[in-house]
Amino acid sequence: MLRPAVLSLALLGPYLAFAQSSDTEIHHHNVVFGVGPAIPTGSSSNYLTTAPFIRFGYGYRFNKLFQADFGFEMAFGAADNQNAELTNFGQVLGGDHEFFVPMLGGRVYIPLPWNRVSLAIGGGGTHLHYSETAPTGGGYSYGYSSGCLTCTSRGGWGGYGMGNLSYFLDSSHIFHVGTNVEYVAGSTNGPQVANIPAVKVTDHWLNVAFEFGLSF
């Protein structure tokens, strides 16, 4: 009965020891900003197009192996909204925005022999929110202004998996650059937003961000 537990401890022991040792050598707070393409995949490409997106992320690193993540991501114009909207300034093309917020999850760091290179994999959950807006002021309010003449939004929950490769620019491991790749899958439901039909659909995204980060 005890053999599986003993075997598991024997296998995990070196990793746990590595994770708990030298905690003072790591920075617990990690902040990143990234830009890149948000790429719809599969059937989602029938009504969504590749669009620029930005991401902000914060991670709290417990030890050398484990980190909890929180993030905010936003794509611009993936639904390709060409609908004319009436505003106080006349007719303008309605904008659309695709949010992934919050991004709640975690990651596991994979030990590497190179001191300045960091590799991690992880995943979690997220809420997808799509909106198209044309507010009374003539600018775009992302669906949250009471002055919106025509605002439409839809949303739903999903999950994501990620991989991250970073390179530290200094020996103190404060500044780093890297690439973050996410695969997001989630269902959205609600009224039509630009080219997205007014039915429940499951969307798939491949988000690639080129990041700059600060650890402290």
The reply to whether 12 falls in a domain is no
pLDDT at residue 155, as a whole number: 92
Unique residue bearing structure tokens 């200094």: 170
CATH number assigned to the domain comprising residue 167? 2.40.160.20
Domain count for the chain: 1
- pLDDT tens sequence across 143-185: 444 455 557 888 999 999 999 999 999 999 999 999 999 999 9
The reply to whether 11 falls in a domain is no
Average pLDDT over residues 197-212: 94
- pLDDT tens sequence across 111-124: 999 999 999 999 99
Residue 209 reports pLDDT greater than 70: yes
Residue 67 reports pLDDT greater than 60: yes
The reply to whether 10 falls in a domain is no
The reply to whether 17 falls in a domain is no
pLDDT at residue 152, as a whole number: 80
What is the domain extent for residue 126? 26-215
More confident residue, 124 or 133: 124
Pair 175, 213: CB distance under 8 Å:
yes
- pLDDT tens sequence across 27-43: 999 999 999 999 999 98
* Alpha carbon distances (Å) from 42 to 64, 166, 188: 36, 28, 15
The reply to whether 13 falls in a domain is no
- pLDDT tens sequence across 2-12: 455 445 445 55
Cα 193 from Cα 40, distance rounded (Å): 16
Residue 190 reports pLDDT greater than 50: yes
More confident residue, 133 or 127: 127
The reply to whether 203 falls in a domain is yes
Q: Which residues lie below 8 Å from residue 206, measured CB to CB, with a gap of 6+? A: 38, 39, 40, 41, 181, 182, 183, 184
Pair 165, 182: CB distance under 8 Å:
no
Pair 9, 17: CB distance under 8 Å:
no
pLDDT at residue 3, as a whole number: 58
pLDDT at residue 51, as a whole number: 93
The reply to whether 21 falls in a domain is no
Residue 87 reports pLDDT greater than 80: no
Residue 208 reports pLDDT greater than 60: yes
The reply to whether 9 falls in a domain is no
